[in-house]
Structure 1
Amino acid sequence: MPHEPLTPAPATALHEGVAASAADPEPIRLPVERPAGCPFDPPAELARLRSERPLTRLKFPDGHVGWLATSHAVARAVLADSRFSSRYELMHLPFETGFTGELPPAPIGDMTGMDAPEHTRYRRLLAGKFTVRRMAQLGDRIERITADHLDAMERQGPAVDLVTAYARPIPALTICELLGVPYDEHHFFQESTATVMSHSSTPEQLAATMTAMNEYLRQLVVTKRAAPTDDLLSDLTGSDLDDEELTGLAAFLLGAGLDTTANMIALGTFALLGNPDQFAALRTDPGLADQAVEELMRYLTIAQLGAQSALEDVELAGQLVRAGETVAVSMEAANRDPVKYPDPDVLDLRRKASGQLGFGHGIHQCLGQQLARVEMRAAIPALVTRFPTLRLAVPADEIPLRTGMNIFGVHRLPVTWDEQ
């Protein structure tokens, strides 16, 4: 039975936490080292934890002692339980950042850091604009964008950086058109998003970036109110959102639409090139596209880590999570859980990867997941079909990985192919 939303205690009280009892094992630090030569695999320590103790004590960088969830069942339970909060000011971050002390509340419009009823208000307003049917209607336009960029790659000839030539432009053009942001501004937003998502960005860099993004979008909102056009942002000016809310929501949607799908297209291609049998399977059977997207989302899990803070004492996986304790949720470990997915470390495009947590779960499940699916179903199969001899242009261990950012991926992906 779902739990009713709770009114949280003040942040200071929630952050006091409760020390581990003598019976608890020594809290661990978050495992971050991936196996050598296996860029797609999670840290091996996560698999051991998942099999032995799927909810284990975790020492956070700020000294807080909370929990790490690693199994599929426990991850889903945390993400779906309203006794856990996503509010940033109640949360401890499980990875190193430039911040000290308590986090500030979520910026206006940032749905990730909201609970009900604020989150519900935004979600209801947007849910009807990202339906399966509506996103499918964008399919022809996305296929045209995809074909145009494949044509450009073919004209240029090998070798190219797939990130800049293909993976970034397709979702960038799509989300800019959807929101009504001029496409020639997309580089500014991509760079801004990278700064915001990086764990190494200083508070000063973050503040300057967010100020610049919000100022641009605030002016765009004013323009859309005065002269609406056929786009989502203009449509939202007819809602009860004020200019500040609309600006924040536009920044949230734009950042999410630019970064995540671009990384899935690039990293998904990298994974397929490292698994030639799966590359060949998708090339010879485009009907695998739907399953391929779900399996790549499971196998790669680019949104690796989530966090939720308990609003009250919660019994979970045989443990007592105290009010104020943060549970870090390892999505990548959950998506490799052999209880849910046999042979989880194998990329198998014919697998039924239903229930994968690459788009999250619960009330914060990715709002734009249907758009992302349409983009990936168009971009990845079309790429392997157009360039059947596609391969890396440098050794795999020279591909620069995005390991210090919230969203896993590659910074560059040099590829080549045999010209006809």
Structure 2
Amino acid sequence: MLHTRLEIRNRNEISFFEAVENQFQEIVQDFSKTLNIAVIGKKGVGKSSLINALLKRNHQNPGIEAGTCIEVNPDLKILKLDKRVKIIESLGFDNFQENISHLTRELFKPIDIGILVVNGDADDSYQQQLDALKNHCDSIFVVLNKIDNWDGLEPSSVEKVRGDWHNTLKIETIYPISTSRYQSKTTSDHQLALQHLYLLRQDIENVLDAKGKTLLMARHISQKKSHAKNIIAKALISVAIQAFLPENIAYITATQTAALVSLYYLYTGQIISLKYAIAILSDFAAVENHKDFVLFISSLLPSAGLVNIESSGIKAMTITLAMLSTVNSLLASGVTLPGNQRLQFKFRPYKKRAEDTFKTLKARQLGDLRFLKNTIEPFVV
């Protein structure tokens, strides 16, 4: 039985979208997970300012919105960043166990990350709290806060106190930081403090990344650029590899839509569907005067079987960077998608810049995440 060209095209489109959906379901992040963090420490150690530091919030940009803080008692607070992300702030883990109801306690099992905050001279009474955290939390971090209090920021004094805490708590890694800039207009230029605050954030993000929970926390961080870069750079690495697969157009489209879903969640907290993400990509087809989405994507992306690594992978990376940079720019500006007319004014300039950026790229650079993050820096607002 003969099929008309229209019937064949429709059949191919159905096959294409089925392949996209199958691959999309495998790679898209699961946003239904929960994230629970416990921040433990005595009064005055800087628990609240540490939370704001992790969220990159300061006195001009408050960390917790009104109505999201549940004060169980003066020494125990539950900060509900949203219905899936909660931070417990308490004097001690024993305080948490004694004062919270059984039902509420169940909401915080398991606790993904436990942070013990200390300051001043080493105190062995903290060992009990550290042991409790080890028993109830998947990952533990010890933070030595307020290091700007020691001897005019003399490095030798800080290192001595840090060493004393190492010996007392018998823990390998302690992060000496200062959170003064997150609780007042005071700013600290102590390089050791800034360096280890950055390392603390990175190590926490590594733990969350391994759990598939990075974006659950990231969407509450005031400065989202680094996370947007990470989403886009990882998508670029994926499409560079997928350019050589037999069904490369479907795989690449799935990667692009999954990245769109992640960017949308990062900026809005909303979980959009594959259909919605496809609608956003379809807007790019309209910009290029294509009525058929599949033909549009096929015209931009590399044909399967190309053996030139640089031209095939870079072609896929170029269009992906142009699309995702456009979407990121609009979302960062608070623009609603899809169907926004501003998209057409941003996409073509991004596409031209991406072509100019990638035309000198070598095959060995296509899978270098750090290199790609630096390369796309000008594209991510």
Shorter-chain TM-score tier:
under 0.3
Whose helix proportion is higher, 1 or 2?
2
Q: Which has the higher contact order (CA 8 A, sep 6+)?
A: 1
Structure of higher CA gyration radius? 2
TM score, norm. by length of structure 1: 0.24
